[in-house]
Amino acid sequence: MLRIAIMVALALSVTGCSKIGIKRAPGVLFDGQKFRASAKSTTRSDRQHFVASVKGVSKSFDGAVEAAEYQGTRHCLKYYGTSDIDWDVGPDTPREALVVDNDTLTFLGMCRDD
């Protein structure tokens, strides 16, 4: 009986955590916005070349550019241990030349393997 009481008390204490502000972090914000973003290898056998995509560009174009660059950097750090990237289409591309399709911004890059 004591075990059940302890388990119930523990369960109730954990469910109350969200009410006092202890909850999951909101994630990384760019220009004050959260974006759904990812960076994936163009092929399974070649992780050096990747595509970084960000959805919700209409929230903040500059924020979306930062989010795509961040995802590319994370990808290269994970697989190559470096943040050095040669961008085909990236943060240095003139803003008017970047293509937004279906509220999604796409960057193309290659991790430097020096």
Every domain of the chain and the residues it spans = 31-111
Rounded alpha-carbon distances, angstroms, from residue 106 to 27, 38, 41:
21, 10, 13
DSSP lists the bridge partners of residue 108 as 51, 89
pTM score: 0.76
Is the confidence at residue 5, as pLDDT, over 80?
A: no
Average pLDDT in the chain: 87
pLDDT of 11: 62
Mean per-residue pLDDT for 53-78? 96
- Cβ proximity of 84 and 45 under 8 Å: no
Residue 72: DSSP 8-state: H
Cα R_g (the chain), whole angstroms: 20
